[in-house]
Amino acid sequence: MLFELETAKPLETIEKDLHEAAARHKFGVLAVHDLQQKMLDKGIEMERQVRIYEVCNPRQAKEVLDANPQISTALPCRISVYSDGPVYKLCTMRPTEMMKAFGEETVASVAQSVEEALIAIMREAAA
């Protein structure tokens, strides 16, 4: 269900490289959620750094939404980057597995294409 890898890069470099890799694969970074900061804003301290990157390829998103608007509950795709001791891990839910929950086989090829792009983006950001 998950794809995960790790890197010794600092978070700021991962973030820069993730934005650049996403653009190369025709994905946009729609939002970045800094969960450590959001928790601190609520008065809760959290040691672990966690950032969620919402990414999207608009053409592919439209294709799956045209097939089944309920898929909007799984969009946009997310890449999580979090500290794990001395390294950072990048993690995402596999779109091919998520689409199975919707029973919409007409978008299987789109889900596969999106998954391949997400994995490539993550590998490039981690390298």
Q: What is the pLDDT of residues 109-119, one digit of tens each?
A: 999 999 999 99
122 Cβ partners below 8 Å, 6+ apart?
Answer: 3, 5, 18, 21, 79, 90, 92
Which CATH number among 3.40.50.10440, 3.40.50.1010, 1.10.486.10, 3.30.310.70 corresponds to the domain 2-126?
3.30.310.70
* Residue 104 predicted with pLDDT over 90: no
Q: Where are the domains of the chain?
A: 2-126
Q: What is the pLDDT of residues 49-94, one digit of tens each?
A: 999 999 999 999 999 999 999 999 999 999 999 999 999 999 999 9
